[in-house]
Amino acid sequence: MPDDPSKTTNTGTDPAGWSVDVDPARPGEDRVLVVVDVQNDFCPGGALAVPGGDEVPAVINELSRQFDHVILTQDWHPAGHLSFASSHPGARPFATVELPYGPQVLWPDHCVQDTEGARFHPGLAVRNCELIVRKGYRREVDSYSAFRDNDRRSPTGLAGYLRERGLRRLFVVGLATDFCVAYTALDARRLGFEVTVIEAGCRAIDLDGSLGAAWEQMEEAGVMRG
């Protein structure tokens, strides 16, 4: 799939039974749909597959037609990234280690720059994407959030972009609910944005209860569940 998702073709069908109450776009729109990491490696058959990850493109395609503004994020790791278990001799995927910025879950190698796994899922057909935010491209630090790296010090610039464009209401979808979606939603709330996570457009890893913990944190932070 090309890196420009507007040039893809929607080959999926909308899953039966889902519905989301999202108003159509209006003049002076202040809403933005943030699509998190819908990439091949996070879908079935990928290196870090999220169960049901290939079900979300059809939902997101339909949702995107109701927004004037759509932003995509893309995990974009160099080979040998420190979040990879393979970078730590003897370590196994999904173990936790201490890195200079704090605890880090070790993952299978995934979303390596310029590989097929890093590309957006071929079913994703978002024709009005205006920005792609790449994250995790520094070898020494992971980046779950669309707003800052896991060291909590290095911003991506997304907050400034949203503010300059007058976009204050975020609707977040993508993969995975309990990691990159949750981190993005929580950072957005800390930065003063109104946030709704649209559950039908997300799927989770749920590693040792991480999904329940993520929803609890998001609800405490004022993230709305759509």
| Residues designated catalytic | 37, 135, 180
Q: What is the CA radius of gyration of the chain?
A: 16
- As given in the structure block, the two tokens for residue 183 are 């981190």
**Which residue, chain included where needed, has tokens 């993952």?**
107
**Which residues touch 3 (CB under 8 Å, ≥6 apart)?**
74, 119, 120, 132
Write the CA distances from 78 to 49, 134, 171, integer angstroms.
19, 12, 29
Sign of the torsion formed by the C-alpha atoms of 180, 186, 189 and 190: negative
